[in-house]
Amino acid sequence: MITPVLRIWIHSLCLLVCLWLAGCSQDEPGLPDAGQDAGADAGQDAGLDAEDGADPADDSGADDAETYDDGDAGMPGDEAADSDGLPDGDDVILDGDGSADDDLVPDGSDDGDAGDGDDWEYERGSLAACLLNPECNRVGITSHMGAWTVTIPGNSMAAYQSAWELGADAIEADVRVSADGVPFMIHNDEITLYESLLCAGKVISESTADEIDDCLLVPSTTETIPTFEEFVEWARGKILIHIDIKESAHIAIMVQQIHAYGAEDFVFPAISVAEATNLLPGIADADSVYFLLRVKNINDIDAALTTLSRPNIFMLEGDRSWDNPPVDEAAMMLQIERVQQAGLRIMASSDKYLATVQNHLDLFAMGFDLILSYNCANGVEAADQVN
């Protein structure tokens, strides 16, 4: 039997190994540390390429103070449920440079220049406030598995907190469902060694929630696999949640979960064209959940704008190959313009290994509204420059 002391010793040893493999410094190029304009850590994608083939992919100069308000979006689920002592957005006034007078709200989260109305306010934790609002012309960042480092596990509450503090607009997170129907935020169904040493080999879909709850995430001695409930209640009023449902059969479950937690205004799942065609019409209450549709080619875009067109499919996600040369940028920009003229948003991913500020700026210059970022700090810095 593994004692608590032995468990901490094992994870401490793992941490030392991870630090050694990373060059024993978080400041080396490739780690997503705040303010570092360098490539995203190659380790962030190690073993994580199985994104179902479809993971493609703040303001400086705002003159007026701006208020976060998570009760005015006019959508269900706006009631604040904060019990963690973190700012919820009901009464936080941001200065024009994105900083709060009480220093509790992260910089880079406001944009007084977006939209044409003098009273327009950016609310980071609401779809209705920007991504669904045609008057909002700001760009945004969704942080891949949160802002994780060699000491902060991906898809952990600590990584989500870090992304929020850095100023990300949304957090992209994987979700799988346990045998007894509890959604957990984790990439693989069979837990790998790089996810949890003590639970490696355990299968999420064949395990109960009680059997998963205590699985420590590498390399932490405190972070466990978050449940969707834990994640959604923390995020309410703070930040958007962009979920990657790893199993098609679980889309209906997650639609019901979104309704159960009143999260329609800040949680949006990503689905494929096939899932939208074959599954979505038969899912109860799916019409009141907003979806990101993954598209891989012009035929998919054609379908999104015609046969699959529906009010709750609000954004398209470009295929990751769009970010790899050679790319016909002129042809791509025509498709981006076409999507936006139809009233939809469009997203792409940053480069996985060289997610520099310039990489993000190049994608924004092409017209993408949102970037799935493999380096949250660099992505937010780029979005700040554009906004």
Residue ranges of domains in the chain: 41-59+135-386
> pLDDT value at position 63?
34
Domain range 41-59+135-386, its CATH number among 2.60.40.10, 3.40.1190.20, 3.30.1490.270, 3.20.20.190: 3.20.20.190
Instruction: For tokens 């994580």, name the residue.
Output: 48
Q: Is the pLDDT of residue 255 over 50?
A: yes
197-235 confidence digits (pLDDT tens): 999 999 999 999 999 999 999 999 999 999 999 999 999
Query: Terminal CA-to-CA distance of the chain, rounded, Å?
Result: 54
Higher pLDDT, 50 or 313: 313
Instruction: For tokens 């006019």, name the residue.
Output: 74
> pLDDT value at position 122?
85
Average pLDDT, the chain: 77
Going by pLDDT thresholds of 50, 70 and 90, the confidence category of residue 155 is: very high
Q: Nearest 5°: phi and psi at 371?
A: -125, 125
Q: Report whether 69 contacts 89 (CB < 8 A).
A: yes
**Mean pLDDT lowest among 21-30, 146-155, 234-243:** 21-30
Q: Is the pLDDT of residue 149 over 70?
A: yes
> pLDDT value at position 291?
98
Angle between helices 357-366 and 376-386 (to 10 degrees): 50
Kindly calculate the radius of gyration of the chain based on its CA atoms and give it in whole angstroms: 20
The model carries a pTM of 0.73
Q: Would the CA dihedral through 285, 287, 292, 298 be positive or negative?
A: positive
* Highest-pLDDT range among 87-91, 318-322, 372-376: 372-376
Higher pLDDT, 103 or 168: 168
List 224's β-bridge partners, or say none: 216
Q: What 3 state SS string does the chain have?
A: CCCHHHHHHHHHHHHHHHHHHCCCCCCCCCCCCCCCCCCCCHHHHCCCCCCCCCCCCCCCCCCCCEECCCCCCCCCCCCCCCCCCCCCCCCCEECCCCCECCCCCCCCCCCCCCCCCCCCCCCCCCCCCCCCCCCCCCCEEEEECCCCCCCCCCCCHHHHHHHHHHCCCEEEEEEEECCCCCEECCCCCECCCCCCCCCCCCEHHHCCHHHHCCCECCCCCCCECCEHHHHHHHHCCCCEEEEEECCHHHHHHHHHHHHHCCCCCCEEEEEEHHHHHHCHHHCCCHHHCCEEEEECCHHHHHHHHCCCCCCCEEEEEECHHHHCCCCCHHHHHHHHHHHHHCCCEEEEECCCCCCCHHHHHHHHHHCCCEEEECCHHHHHHHHHHHC
Neighbours of 71 (CB within 10 A): 14
Going by pLDDT thresholds of 50, 70 and 90, the confidence category of residue 13 is: low
Higher pLDDT, 200 or 47: 200
286-333 confidence digits (pLDDT tens): 999 999 999 988 999 999 999 999 999 999 998 655 555 667 888 889
Give every CB contact of residue 319 below 8 A, 6+ residues apart in sequence: 54, 56, 294, 295, 296, 297
